[in-house]
């Protein structure tokens, strides 16, 4: 929108009232950092002072020490203008962003990519509903119960390929959380207390110990693409916890971690009624163990409408409608 000012006088002042801004260094015509800085500051600091709905900042270079104050001044400007959506992506060195981010009373969505997350002592995000951390290094267990307590309205939590430093237990305790997606490496123990959870997706986690401390009465959509530790008791408990799901997706990796033959705990687990299940998607090698598991799941799913059997080995997809 800013560029159109060159073409038409009618557009000259339109940009000054724009509610959303996306600044991406890689898309900027000049690759000189100083030109990019001047451009961003000319846009932000010459606005008419109206609130900002969304600010997205993507840095494709390594900031110099002298740049940090200027970068933070952009974020502070947005925070002081009641920004609701804040996205920060940095492809190089981690930046010590202003702690004022974590006391913003207007922030509803926060996405952070390729950064170190070290939370300040004071945290208050009263209207934050979405937190998305991608390739973030989470230091010393800073994503803890106190943090979630400071985000009472959190509904969506996404943790993608994050690194947990000096953290052996990840505890997610969020009373209003509805959507949870975790992918990549996690601490050895994951404890979840989310009684209003509707959707859960776990991808690429290796041998996690996952424990829910509440009933998932509202769960609807479940996707497990993880490798379990082959502890029959924990596996049985995990499957039983999501028994109210309407849609269930289990990967080949997940299935190969379950051996039901001669294992009363798991055999009992798959005989648990999935009374609401309508859609089942399973990755399978069509082994005897897999077929036994699938048959038992179907036998105890009276509302089933559609079944997808996916075999990566045979490169086929079998869809069965009930």
pLDDT higher than 70, residue 316? no
The pLDDT value given to residue 13: 65
Over residues 136-182, the pLDDT tens digits come to 998 766 788 889 999 999 999 999 999 998 888 999 999 999 999 99
Rounded Cα distance between 215 and 202, Å, is: 18
Mean of the per-residue pLDDT values of the chain: 85
Kindly state the tokens that stand for 8. 């038409």
Which pLDDT tens digit goes with each residue over 48-104?
788 999 999 998 777 777 788 889 999 999 999 999 999 999 877 678 899 999 999
Share of residues in the chain with pLDDT > 70 (%): 84
Nearest to 258 by CA among 293, 308, 298, 299: 293
**Complete DSSP assignment for 263-302:** -HHHHHHTTS--TT--EEEEE----HHHHHHHHHHHHT-T
pLDDT of res. 315:
53
pLDDT of residue 207: 79
Using left for φ > 0, alpha for ψ between -120 and 50, and beta otherwise, residue 274 falls in beta
Phi and psi at residue 110, to the nearest 5°: -130, 125
With left for phi above 0 and alpha for psi between -120 and 50, is residue 230 left, alpha or beta? left
- Nearest Cα residue to 90 out of 122, 67, 106: 67
Does residue 247 have a pLDDT over 90? yes
Please give the pLDDT value at position 1: 46
The pLDDT assigned to 22 comes to 92
Tell whether pTM > 0.85.
yes
Is pLDDT larger for residue 58 or for residue 29? 58
Strands (E), 66-198: 85-90, 109-113, 116-117, 130-134, 137-139, 156-160, 163-165, 169-173, 179-183, 189-193
């Amino acid at each position: 929108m800013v560029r159109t000012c060159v073409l038409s006088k009618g557009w000259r002042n339109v940009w000054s009232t724009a509610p959303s801004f996306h600044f991406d260094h890689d898309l900027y015509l000049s690759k000189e950092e100083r030109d990019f800085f001047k451009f961003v500051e000319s846009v932000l600091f010459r606005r008419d002072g109206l609130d900002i709905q969304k600010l997205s900042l993507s840095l494709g270079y390594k900031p110099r020490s002298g740049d940090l104050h200027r970068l933070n001044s952009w974020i502070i400007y947005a925070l002081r203008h009641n920004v609701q959506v804040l996205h920060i992506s940095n492809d190089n060195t981690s930046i010590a962003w202003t702690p004022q981010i974590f006391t913003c009373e207007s922030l509803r969505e926060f996405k952070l990519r390729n950064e170190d997350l070290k939370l300040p002592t004071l945290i208050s995000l009263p209207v934050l509903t979405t937190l998305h951390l991608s390739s973030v290094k989470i230091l010393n267990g800073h994503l803890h119960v106190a943090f979630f307590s400071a985000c009472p309205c959190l509904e969506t939590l996404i943790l993608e390929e994050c690194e947990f430093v000096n953290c052996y237990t990840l505890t997610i305790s969020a009373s209003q959380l509805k959507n949870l997606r975790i992918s990549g490496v996690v601490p050895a123990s994951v404890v979840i207390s989310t009684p209003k959870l509707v959707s859960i997706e776990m991808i690429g986690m290796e041998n996690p110990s996952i424990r829910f401390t509440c009933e998932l009465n509202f769960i609807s959509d479940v996707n497990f693409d993880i490798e379990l530790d082959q502890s029959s008791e924990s596996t049985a408990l995990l499957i039983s916890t999501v028994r109210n799901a309407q849609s269930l997706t289990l990967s080949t990796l997940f299935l190969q971690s379950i051996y039901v033959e001669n294992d009363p705990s798991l055999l009992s687990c798959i005989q648990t009624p999935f009374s609401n299940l309508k859609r089942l998607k399973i990755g399978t090698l069509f082994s005897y163990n897999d077929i036994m598991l699938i048959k038992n799941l179907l036998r105890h799913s009276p509302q089933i409408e559609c079944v997808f059997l996916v075999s990566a080995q045979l490169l086929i997809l079998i869809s069965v409608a009930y």
